[in-house]
């Protein structure tokens, strides 16, 4: 179970690492499921719950979950922005190791299936259960958070996300301060911090095995 939680957290880095997401409009275009999904993803990246809520529906609990996610997402974008400013577009956008990730492209190339007032967006090779679920409202299409895939795993991953958010904020500050000479060095340093954060959370997770106590040392033999 712990591995699946970590996988959700790591996957989220890829979800929002693309530098190509633009600022969502105050009144997002919700005319199609793909446009609504784009507005939702952009709101997450901007760390703007007003943008997220404009493109999503769900319970108060769902919104609180997404609000926690938005903080992590926004911090990750700060790393990408700092990397681009410091190392240039090609090197900087890859400091998180997501060279092939482009959320807008994924949404645009996804298969859109509409059945009445419900819709699903799924990437090639992805099952419908794993894709975006959307629902048509009086305002247009909106991401249906009540049917968010792996929602339970994401809720369990919140402590990891909070630790990761701090890693990302620290990494962005380190890049701006010139701690890393190259994008590759920054990538390596960030990955090391991520591993340390995961390990720390694994130790403090409920049910985690306690650290073994050190073996008692034998007293020195009396000298003759």
According to the model, what pLDDT value does residue 17 have?
A: 46
Q: What tokens does 49 get? A: 């719950």
Q: Assess whether pLDDT exceeds 70 at residue 11.
A: no
Spell out the residues 6+ positions from residue 128 whose beta carbon is closer than 8 angstroms to its own: 113, 120, 122
User: For 161-165, 184-188, 213-217, which range has the lowest pLDDT when averaged over its residues?
Assistant: 213-217
According to the model, what pLDDT value does residue 90 have?
A: 84
Average pLDDT over residues 149-160: 82
- Contact 103/16 with Cβ under 8 angstroms? yes
Count other C-beta atoms under 10 Å from residue 14's C-beta.
17
- Contact 57/135 with Cβ under 8 angstroms? yes
According to the model, what pLDDT value does residue 222 have?
A: 55
According to DSSP H, which parts of 129-205 are helical? 151-156, 158-176, 183-204
According to the model, what pLDDT value does residue 102 have?
A: 65
More confident residue, 210 or 125: 125
Q: Assess whether pLDDT exceeds 90 at residue 183.
A: yes
Where do we find the tokens 């390596």? 188
Torsion from C-alpha of 59, 15, 195, 188, nearest 10 degrees: -150
Q: Assess whether pLDDT exceeds 50 at residue 14.
A: no
Whole-model pTM: value is 0.69
According to the model, what pLDDT value does residue 10 have?
A: 47
Average pLDDT over the chain reads 80
Count other C-beta atoms under 10 Å from residue 129's C-beta.
11
Pairing of strands 56-57, 140-144: parallel
217: pLDDT confidence band, cut at 50, 70 and 90? low
């Amino acid at each position: 179970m712990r591995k699946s939680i970590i996988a959700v957290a790591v996957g989220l880095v890829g979800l929002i690492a693309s530098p190509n997401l633009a600022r969502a409009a105050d009144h997002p275009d919700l005319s199609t499921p793909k446009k609504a999904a784009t507005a939702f993803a952009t709101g997450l990246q901007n760390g703007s719950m007003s943008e997220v809520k404009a493109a999503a529906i769900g319970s108060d609990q769902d919104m609180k979950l997404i609000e926690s996610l938005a903080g992590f997402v926004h911090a990750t974008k700060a790393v990408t922005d700092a990397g681009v400013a410091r190392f240039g577009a090609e090197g900087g956008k890859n400091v998180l190791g997501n060279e092939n990730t482009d959320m807008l492209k994924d949404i645009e190339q996804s298969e859109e299936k509409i059945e009445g007032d419900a819709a699903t967006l799924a990437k090639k090779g992805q099952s419908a259960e794993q894709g975006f679920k959307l629902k048509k409202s009086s305002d247009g299409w909106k991401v249906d958070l009540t049917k968010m895939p792996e929602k339970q795993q994401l809720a369990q991953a919140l402590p990891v996300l909070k630790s990761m958010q701090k890693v990302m904020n620290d990494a962005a500050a380190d890049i701006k301060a010139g701690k890393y000479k190259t994008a590759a060095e920054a990538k390596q340093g960030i990955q090391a911090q991520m591993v340390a954060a995961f390990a720390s959370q694994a130790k403090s997770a409920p049910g985690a095995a306690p650290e073994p106590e050190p073996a008692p040392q034998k007293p020195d033999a009396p000298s003759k």
